Structure 1
Amino acid sequence: MARPCYARGEVATVQELQEKLRRPLAAELAGGCQNRVVAGGIEKLLASPLGNPFPKVREALSGYAAMDTAARAEALQAALKLLSGDPKAKASSRPAKVAAKTAPPQATAGERLPPDAPLERLDTGLGGTRKLASLGLHTLRDVLHAYPHRHEDRRALPDLSQVQEGQKVTVEGTVISKHRRTPKPNMLIIEITLETPSGGRVKATWFNQPWIERQLREGAKLVLTGRVKKFGSRVQLGVEHLETVEGAGESLSTGRIVGVYDSKDGISQEFLRRSAFRALQAVPLGDYLPVHWRQKYAITDLADALWGIHFPHDEAHLQRANARLRFDEYLFLELRMLLQGEDAVLQGKRFEARGEDINKFEGALPFRFTNAQRRVLLEITDDMRSDRQMARLVQGDVGSGKTAVAACALYLAVRDGYQGALMAPTEILARQHYQNLTGYLGQLDVRVGLLIGAMTPKQKLEMQTRIAEGDVDVVVGTQALIQDNVQFDHLGLAVVDEEHRFGVQQRRKLLTSRPDVLVMSATPIPRSLALTAYGDLELSIIDELPPGRTPIETKLIQDNYRTQAYGFVMKQIREGRQAYVVTSLIEENENLELLAATQLADDLKTILPEARIDLLHGKMSAAEKDYVMERFRQREFDILVSTTVIEVGVDVPNATVMVIENAERFGLAQLHQLRGRVGRGSAQSYCVLIAGEHSKKTRQRLKIIEGSTDGFVIAEADLKLRGPGELRGTRQSGIPDLRLADLANDTEIIEQARELAKHILANDPRLEHPRLQYLRSELQNRSQSVAFREVI
């Protein structure tokens, strides 16, 4: 029997640990023994707890970083044999002899090199390889794809006699004099005079920057960027950026549109441009996208794009290059998302999803579906009738009817003899869904059950038994649904609410029997962000609210009108209504001028002595939060002072006012979600945004939320104002940064790239055809995750 090993609260056998270690070692061998398959290298991996049970493997790979490629391959093969249990495999009884590390031969003049050739083969100048390695660049391919972060037009540098005071300019010239002064202790002034090719002269000064002096020798050719200061006819430049133009021949730094790269002290822009130029000359630039795909999507070839991003001929060339390389970023992101989802290519359940059953379900509702609900339901039923497992995200604004659509899908699954499950992130939301589904499905003879952590052990055991015996048709619950002792009889459809609140592994536990999967999100996400962040899911949007809903009135006020705002809150309370008051901090913080929730609750008790006030915040346990919310729902108090923990899903129909303190501290999408906590009943509801900051920019931003109740419009505006941030947390672990992409404006490109990715994988799910080998190799190179590399 295998000896159990304990790690992170889980029990793993030695065989399981062997497999976990085998995978990165095998990927390292397959990847050419570059010691880059895991962060920190192979020896760091073996020094982790994963390597502890395997001392012979650690011995076999001791000194790995200093070995040459052949020695690394031999050591890896020995280690893999040891892990496989090969009785003939032996670790050396003496320290492994480390082969002398010799640099690969530099390319001869005109010799062509593969993209993954090490940079030692490229003539980068003295110490050049070390400089590039310090920027994370190790191969020619790395250099080719280290794009400039901006470009400057240096085709016609300005005439110094024509520049204006304060204007930012770039000038080229030769240092004709240099002066060094120390007017007082601890002050160094270096001043040069630069003569431009037209004969003009400009003075430039540096204060307390001794390290820059070696670049300022007389006769040196420099390119300076900075703000102009004029003293009569004399021009002085406040230098913001300096470049040294090295060597003779064609200048890569002037007379053209010039790329500016990410760098660090001691690594010049001229050096980086020269390295990119040499890499472009050395690598035969084929294309992983065939001509007919490039023609279909109107994109240029890869060689034209790479030359154009580094050394564009003109604006049109740069634009063409940018469009192609952005397309590629999205294509590889979509391919990776579709491939890494364990459920992406699985066989799913096949449902009949009959039209008469849909009509029967709708006939039992107290309302009719909107056109948007019908459209989304049609997309869902098309998936359910397919052999392939459904993986679909349904987005909709607050009140758009996502739950009713999900309930219909669950009903169709039950009608075909399957069970359904709905998993929510909190117990209060689970109870809410249970009540809704009971209302929708109970009259259709569908048995709905609830399984949450707050139930007694006896209640849990009873429900688990009923689930296992098929005595319950639809189960609603929290993470309690994915415990090991929950066994479904015949799970056909899993609905996951607010999926981003669950970890990847949590979701997958629910999906072990390969049910169809429907994910719901009440947080409107711009289409561009949804297509990338949820690339493994098909996207459906309910973009229509049911008729008869009264829009929430939103008012933006400055904090000096706070008293009037709470006077209005008290008026609503006297009419029998309730209110939320939201702030973003729990405790006082001297560095932020925010009202803490605890202090705010105390202040309101003084301001509104008639009102019954309670507090909800993130430091409470789940049971404490549920208790407070249930008391609020039962109208046991009037005002709930809360942090953003009430942002999603809570339904209290009698609450008609939402007051948000320091509204400028929230994103627009978050403000919209908070506003959605009111307007759940038939009475007119209100949202009051109190701004503690009075700048014009703040008012313009908050006016967007004041003027619109469309969550998708607001989410688009939020994306443009704030940027995408982190795509999706743990789900996106390992996905590379989008270097050129602009998620706020690239929706059309993303949709095209996704269309192509789906077409490619529909015809070749593992990219095994010889014509796709270059594409497959490029995808692997862009994917740092060992686990993902093994998917393909």
Structure 2
Amino acid sequence: MATVQEMRERLRRPLAAELAGGCHDRVVAGGVERLLASPLASPFPQVREKLGGYAALGGPERAEALGAALALLDAAEKKAGDRGPRPRAQATRTAPPQAAPGERLPLDAETARLDTGPGGARKLATLGLHTLRDVLHAYPHRHEDRRALPDLSEVEEGQKVTVSGQVVSKHRRSPKPGMQILEIVLETPSGGRVRASWFNQPWVERQLKEGARLVLTGRVKKFGRSVQLGVEHLETVDGAQDSLSTGRIVGVYDSKEGISQEFLRRAAHKALQAAPPGDYLPIHWRQKYGVTDLGDALWGIHLPGDEAHLSRATARLRFDEYLFLELRMLLQGEDAVLQGKRFEARGEDIHTFEGALPFRFTNAQRRVLLEITDDMRSDRQMARLVQGDVGSGKTAVAACALYLAVRDGYQGALMAPTEILARQHYANLVGYLGQLDVRVGLLIGAMTPKAKLEMQTRIAQGDVDVVVGTQALIQENVQFDHLGLAVVDEEHRFGVQQRRRLLKSRPDVLVMSATPIPRSLALTAYGDLELSIIDELPPGRTPVETKLIQDTHRAQAYGFVMRQIREGRQAFVVTALIEENENLELLAATQLADDLKVLLPEARVDLLHGKMSAAEKDHVMERFRAREFDVLVSTTVIEVGVDVPNASVMVIENAERFGLAQLHQLRGRVGRGSAKSYCVLVAGEHSKKTRQRLKIIEGSTDGFVIAEADLKLRGPGELRGTRQSGIPDLRLADLANDAEIIEQARELAKHILAHDPRLEHPRLGYLRAELQSRSQSVAFREVI
């Protein structure tokens, strides 16, 4: 264990280097404030205080604060030297002084400086709250209106209410062995009396002393004129702090056993009183976006004066959450602004490409293509997401962009998540580009070593214009001659590092997704990408007719499948994922295939599952496309992109186990030919909630409508690895309804970074410090 003298020297060196280097807050990863939060600075609370809020200071103020901190360290060393060596026992840390009444503290001040009572800092630490800033931003998860608590004589049976009062009596009884009932009589401020009860919760009894002031929440039970409350939530209230818990709108916080709501409200109140003035959003930005100042927002979220105060507080803090998320996403995208390739993207080349197609672009395709070509003509690197429902024509738009890149002398690449999809894209691009003298190549893992080496050589020598492949494209031995445009299909299936290996030469990037994503979610999950949506299907596409049935009518469903087979069509039958267990899933799929061979004796049935090798999957799909069998029983590996035009029926077993967006994707495997197509959802669970959810997909073929409904029902989920992107950290967000707020926050984030890509200007010091504190990963802190 290091001595205090050693720790002092290890702290002095980076601080001195920071001063000598011009005070740019880059001497250590995460900056000076991160250094001060480390155990290294623990023995030196005065130094911590002197440098508190360092990131928000201007250059001269930083230099002055550093000089003073170094002087403190020198003085402490001299004092220690005069006294001679100190015993190790005296190196223990002393508690920091509590803030005086009215004193303002830096945001990184320890919670021990707040007057939260004996053991208060320890309680807060168990909730992960270590600094003033932590307490300020630990928002209540809901609010209760306690301004006028109800008269229980007028409350309906079973209604949930909150009452306050004083315990006037209590007793315990055991009507039968193993059951213990605690009962109290609570006298309310109006003089009324309420009985409250707890079943088999003996640990509650110590809080139920006669004379104790309580706030109780529970459901009302009526017995004649007598009113009883089945208690679900209990708060004890100190009379001196009563105003924080009753007679107002109060926050209810996430907590743990032994940490009361009253304590957390008191801690929030102390933190608000000690919070430093100031705002990381200047007044002209606040006025432009119609948000209140930070101080008003923090008071309003913890201790609102009324509904309007709570509303404007929530609006401001929600805006901030999105702003910092968008800043983080944009900064993580390699750099805030990258120099990209500059293409001519001539209009005559677009006309030439479209003239070679067997169809004309839709208006939506033309609009998106215009957005893409504007990006391609810019000096900045294109980073754009093209979303479109199944069959909307994303691949044709991407093929046109690849053609424009090739016409300007560059190579193009298209990376797909599976070999099945890579082969399908390859066939499509050969059809689109082959007649325009564009050389299209394929590079996938299933190729022989000799064929791979030959393709890699052709890529490196520039003998291939467009390469289609899987992760084989990002292996170390793949070198492009002059890569200008990279198209990534279903990008959320790749890791960030995998994508970046393809982008080493900084080509323009076009991401395609056939998974409809609500605009609000796309702007957060794909915050580093511009967004284009193809929201129109080509003429002539027949919507898939969808029917929801109970599993008791399965025989009828497969009778319909057999009629389609007799007409020369084919069918998919999909089994649900079972408890994330591939072995059980395979067993279920195998059993279903065997059952269907008995149920449909005339049909030829085969099986596709996740444990097959890529070559085996390809072989099965090629046989299915060639009509060598009639029914393909599959797990969800066929979810995205697989194209079998003759398949006209999709049966989804246990449909209730899928999300709506996933069901829509599966349904998109049929209806890809000219024949009328059908999707049958077989539900094994029949609750009203399940049927209501599945009725949404039965009644709509618009993927974006379905995705919005899915978002409202299930939340953001794991789209594009959203844990990484920060979406689960949004505490106030309502992604189903916040698209406009997200657009505004994204606009401001882009404006800020366009003028200061590294947030280096002193006036952005507070904003930068707040962004760093909200960014949990050390790696990200090093970005800025």
What is the TM-score when the length of structure 2 is the normalising length? 0.89
* 463 and 416 in structure 1: CA distance in 2 versus 1, 3 angstrom threshold: same
State the shift of 1:233 in Å: 2.2
2:749 counterpart of 1:747: no
SS in 1 for 2:100: coil
Aligned to 2:773: 781
Higher helix proportion (structure 1 or 2):
2
1:276 maps to what in 2?
A: 268
Segment drifting more, 271-280 vs 222-231:
222-231
- The aligned runs of 1:94-173 (5 Å cut-off) are 99-173=91-165
Matched, 1:212 2:214: no
What code does the residue aligned with 1:147 have? Y
Superposition pairs of residues 152-231 of structure 1, within 5 angstroms: 152-181=144-173, 186-231=178-223
- Partner of residue 340 from structure 2, selected from 348, 359, 363: 348
**Which residue of structure 2 lines up, in the alignment, with residue 598 of structure 1?**
590
Counterpart amino acid of residue 313 in structure 1: G
Which residue in the other structure is 1:10 paired with? Answer: none
Equivalent of 1:524 in 491, 516, 523:
516
CA distance in 2, matches of 1:446, 1:697: 53
Note the 1:327-346 alignment, pairs <5 A. Answer: 327-346=319-338
**Alignment partner, residue 75 of structure 2:** none
Q: Does 1:664 align with 2:656?
A: yes
> In structure 1, what residue type is equivalent to 2:489?
D
Distance in 2 of aligned mates of 1:586 and 1:278: 50
Q: Between Structure 1 and Structure 2, how many residues are aligned?
A: 723
Q: Is the 8 A contact 2:493 2:720 kept in 1?
A: no
Deviation at 1:513, TM superposition (A): 0.4
Deviations 1:105-134 (A, max 9, x none): 111111111121110111010111000100
Corresponding position of 2:286 = 294
Distance in 2, matches of 1:498 and 1:96, equals 59
Counterparts in 2 of 1:255-266, with a 5 A limit?
Answer: 255-266=247-258
Structure 1 residue 220 displacement after superposition: 0.9
Q: Against the structure 1 CA distance between its residues 65 and 777, is the aligned structure 2 distance closer, same or farther, given a 3 Å change threshold?
A: closer
1:72–1:452 CA distance, 2 compared to 1 (3 A): farther
Q: Give the equivalent residue in structure 2 for 1:409.
A: 401
Letter aligned with residue 385 of structure 2: L
Q: Structure 1's 546 and 184: CA in aligned 2 closer, same or farther, altered over 3 A?
A: closer
Counterpart Cα distance in 2 of 1:521 and 1:286: 42
Tell me if the contact between 1:585 and 1:594 (Cα under 8 Å) persists in the aligned partners. Answer: no
Identify if the C-alpha distance between structure 1 residues 24 and 174 changes in structure 2 by more than 3 Å, giving closer, same or farther. Answer: farther
For the 8 Å contact 1:504–1:731, the answer to whether it is kept is: no
Which residue is 1:440 aligned to?
A: 432
- Give the drift of 1:301: 1.1
Q: 1:323 aligns with which of 309, 315, 321?
A: 315
Q: Secondary structure at the match of 1:243?
A: strand
| Paired position in structure 1 for 2:372 | 380
Q: Give the CA deviation at 1:628.
A: 1.2
Distance across 2 between alignment mates of 1:442 and 1:325 = 53
The structure with higher relative contact order (CA 8 Å, sep 6+) is: 2
Partners in 2 of 1:30 and 1:340 — Cα distance?
A: 21
- Superposition map of 1:494-513 within 5 A: 494-513=486-505
- Please, which moves more after superposition, 64-73 or 400-409? 64-73
Is the Cα–Cα contact under 8 Å of residues 32 and 69 in structure 1 kept in the other structure? no
Structure 1 unmatched ranges of 5 or more? 1-22, 37-41, 43-63, 74-93
Match of 2:243 among 251, 270, 277: 251
Name 1:26's counterpart in structure 2.
Answer: 28
The alpha carbon displacement at 1:731 in A equals 7.3
For residues 344 and 587 of structure 1, do their structure 2 counterparts lie closer, same or farther at Cα, with a shift above 3 Å needed? closer
Q: Give the distance between the partners of 2:171 and 2:536, measured in 1 at CA.
A: 71
Deviation at 1:376, TM superposition (A): 0.4
Q: Of residues 231, 245, 262 in structure 2, which corresponds to 1:239?
A: 231
Q: Is the 8 A contact 1:578 1:638 kept in 2?
A: yes
RMSD: 2.5
Q: Which position in structure 2 is the counterpart of 1:689?
A: 681
The one-letter amino acid of 2:528's match is: D
For residue 252 of structure 1, report the CA deviation from its aligned partner: 0.5
Cα offsets for 1:23-66 (capped at 9, x unmatched): 99933662344657xxxxx8xxxxxxxxxxxxxxxxxxxxx697
1:116-160 CA distance string (max 9 Å, x none): 111011101011100010000011111111111011111001123
CA-to-partner distance for each residue in 1:250-284, whole Å, 9 max, x for gaps? Answer: 51110001110001110110110011011101112
Q: Give 3-state SS (helix, strand or coil) of 2:220's partner.
A: strand
Deviation, 1:169, is 1.5
Q: Quick one: distance in 2 between partners of 1:392 and 1:160?
A: 58
CA pair 307-70 structure 1, distance change in 2 beyond 3 A: closer
How far apart are residue 661 of structure 1 and its match?
Answer: 1.1
Instruction: Give the Cα–Cα distance (whole angstroms) in 2 for the partners of residues 586 and 318 of structure 1.
Output: 44
Which residue, out of 605, 609, 615, partners 2:601? 609
Deviation at 1:565, TM superposition (A): 1.2
Structural mapping, 1:681-760, within 5 Å: 681-729=673-721, 732=724, 737-760=729-752
- Cα separation, 1, equivalents of 2:465 and 2:229: 76
Same amino acid, percent of matched pairs? 86
Deviation at 1:425, TM superposition (A): 0.7
Deviation of 1:182 after TM superposition, in Å, equals 5.1
Q: Does the alignment pair 1:771 with 2:763?
A: yes
Give the conservation status (yes or no) of the 8 Å contact 1:649–1:677: yes
- In 2: Cα distance, 1:392 partner to 1:327 partner: 24
The TM-score with structure 1 as length reference comes to: 0.88
1:550-569 to structure 2, matched below 5 A, reads: 550-569=542-561
* Secondary structure in structure 2 of the residue aligned to 1:414: helix
- Structure 2 CA distance for partners of 1:72 and 1:292, relative to 1, 3 Å: closer
Cα distance in 2 for partners of 1:731, 1:159 equals: 46
Alpha-carbon distance in structure 2 between the residues aligned to 1:787 and 1:734: 14
- Contact residue 244 and residue 268 of structure 1 kept, 8 A: yes
Question: Residues of 2 paired with 1:593 and 1:343: CA distance?
Answer: 42
After superposing the two structures, state which structure 1 stretch, 723-732 or 356-365, moved more.
723-732
CA 1:213–1:28 in structure 2 vs 1: closer, same or farther (change >3 Å)?
A: farther
Q: Distance in 1 between matches of 2:681 and 2:273?
A: 58
SS at match of 1:366: coil
The change in CA–CA distance for 1:450 and 1:97 in structure 2 (over 3 A counts) is: farther
Question: CA separation in 2, counterparts of 1:238 and 1:67?
Answer: 51
- SS in structure 1 of the partner of residue 616 of structure 2: helix
Say whether 1:493 aligns with 2:495: no
Contact 2:216/2:231, CA 8 A, preserved across alignment: yes
1:366 aligns with 2:372: no
**SS across alignment from 1:198:** coil
How has the CA–CA distance of structure 1 residues 655 and 344 changed in structure 2, closer, same or farther, with 3 Å as cutoff? farther
Show the counterpart of 2:667. Answer: 675
Q: Distance in 2 between matches of 1:601 and 1:384?
A: 49
* Aligned partner (choices 362, 365, 383) of residue 391 of structure 1: 383
Residue from 563, 566, 569 that aligns with 1:577: 569
| Structure 2 counterpart of 1:27, one-letter code | A
Q: Return the match for 1:458 from 424, 440, 450.
A: 450
Alignment match, 1:655: 647
Cα drift, residue 730 of structure 1: 6.8
Name the SS of the counterpart of 1:146 in structure 2: coil
For 1:652, what is the secondary structure of its paired residue? coil
Q: 1:418-464 CA deviation, whole Å, 9 max, x = no partner?
A: 10000111111111111111111111111111111111111111111
CA distance in 2, matches of 1:587, 1:528: 30
Distance 1:269-1:708 versus aligned 2 partners, 3 A rule = same
CA displacement, residues 628-661 of structure 1 (integer Å, 9 cap, x when unaligned)? 1111111111100011110001011111111111
Contact 1:224 1:242 in 2 (8 A): yes
